Amino acid sequence: MYDIKNIYQPKSVGEALKMKNEHPEALLLAGGSDILIQIRDGKLAGSDLISIHSLEELRGISLEDDGTILIKPLTSFSHVTQNPLIQKFIPALGDAVDQIGGPQIRNIGTIGGNICNGVTSADSASTLKAYDAILEISSVDGIRVLPYADFSKGPGKVDLKPNEILTGIRILKDSYENTYGKYIKYSIRRAMDIATLGCSVNVRLSDDKKTIERLRIGYGVAGPTPMRVPTAESLATGKLISEQLIIDVATATLIDVNPRTSWRATKEFRMQLVKELCKRALKAAINQAGGTI
């Protein structure tokens, strides 16, 4: 038996928002692969929970009229990977979440839970950052829209008020159109392990495939929160593709990152990974986009 004080079971998003307003201290239970484990651990023992697990209206991925891809937050990792829209337009995201845990965890874990728990190692986070995801956050007072870039507030902290629920993750057409991405995860084990470092790159090339029109690079575990590296990104804009450019971009990533030493890896090793994974992911993304190095 889990040590749960109260568990509320809303039947709709509207009801869930009301319950979250009445019980702001209650934790939202989506897939449970973080919260239930922390209850077992004792860290969250005795918590009040609001189980939104069964709210089907918060699952699924769709294309909106203007070409925006809407990912509902309770979509499981495996459903993100298998989704035809993701496979066609943002395969790097499907690949990223396909490297989380093992199959059972990917079937229960949700993409919304992954970003709302705010950890820097969340495999979906660097790719969602790199595609400028936009979050829809709801409460009884209404809906607010927030760039994912502004959501992270610190390790394990996100900009979510006690009465709010994440209800949508959007990727605009301009973010994915004609854009090719690659996520690389470095971890000690290939399965059932969290990232020592994760790097997600996406690139848009000029029509003649010789110049980088736009580059976006997201990282996990390169700092206290998932992050982008604006210095390296802007350095690449409008530049001719070359081996040297890739080295320059990879070197420039080090200016913005701030990894730390943990039992998994030292700061120095992570700095090495920041640079090396950027090189590899950038090369792969350029190749996919039809460019040659």
Partner 1 sequence: MAKQLITFTINGKLTESYVDPRESLLDLMRVDLKLTSVKHGCDVGECGACTVMIDGETFDSCIYLAIWADGKTIITTEGLTSLEGEMSDIQQSFVTEGATQCGICTPGFLISSLPIIESDKDFTREEIKKQVSGNFCRCTGYQNIINAIEKTHDKRKAEGLNHK
Which residues are near partner 1 by CB under 8 A?
1-4, 7, 9, 29, 32-33, 36-37, 40-41, 51, 53-54, 78, 101-105, 107-108, 190-192
CB 271 within 8 A of CB 187: no
Of 81 and 225, the one with the shorter C-beta distance to partner 1 is 81
Q: Which two tokens stand for residue 201?
A: 């790159």
Q: How far is the CB of 99 from partner 1 (least distance, A)?
A: 10
Q: How far is the CB of 48 from partner 1 (least distance, A)?
A: 12
Of 32 and 224, the one with the shorter C-beta distance to partner 1 is 32
Q: How far is the CB of 58 from partner 1 (least distance, A)?
A: 14
Q: How far is the CB of 122 from partner 1 (least distance, A)?
A: 16
Q: How far is the CB of 78 from partner 1 (least distance, A)?
A: 7
- The Cα 145–Cα 155 span in angstroms is 22
Of 33 and 124, the one with the shorter C-beta distance to partner 1 is 33
Q: Which candidate, 227, 220, 177, 213, places its Cα nearest to that of 195?
A: 220
Of 78 and 124, the one with the shorter C-beta distance to partner 1 is 78
Give the count of alpha carbons within 13 A of 242, CB side only: 6
| Type and span of the H or E element at 231 | helix 230-236
CA 120 to chain centre: 9
Q: How far is the CB of 271 from partner 1 (least distance, A)?
A: 29
Of 54 and 258, the one with the shorter C-beta distance to partner 1 is 54
SS3 126: helix
Please report, as a single letter, which amino acid is at residue 100: I
Which residues, at least 6 apart from 19, have a Cβ–Cβ distance to it below 8 Å?
A: 8, 10, 26, 50
Mark out the alpha helices in 109-145 (DSSP H runs).
Answer: 111-116, 123-130
Q: Which long-range contacts (CB under 8 A, 24 or more apart) does 231-239 make?
A: 231/255, 231/256, 232/256, 232/278, 236/212, 237/212, 237/213, 238/211, 238/212, 238/213, 239/211, 239/212
Of 39 and 285, the one with the shorter C-beta distance to partner 1 is 39
Of 103 and 290, the one with the shorter C-beta distance to partner 1 is 103
- The Cα 275–Cα 132 span in angstroms is 22
Of 55 and 222, the one with the shorter C-beta distance to partner 1 is 55
Q: How far is the CB of 140 from partner 1 (least distance, A)?
A: 24
Q: How far is the CB of 32 from partner 1 (least distance, A)?
A: 6
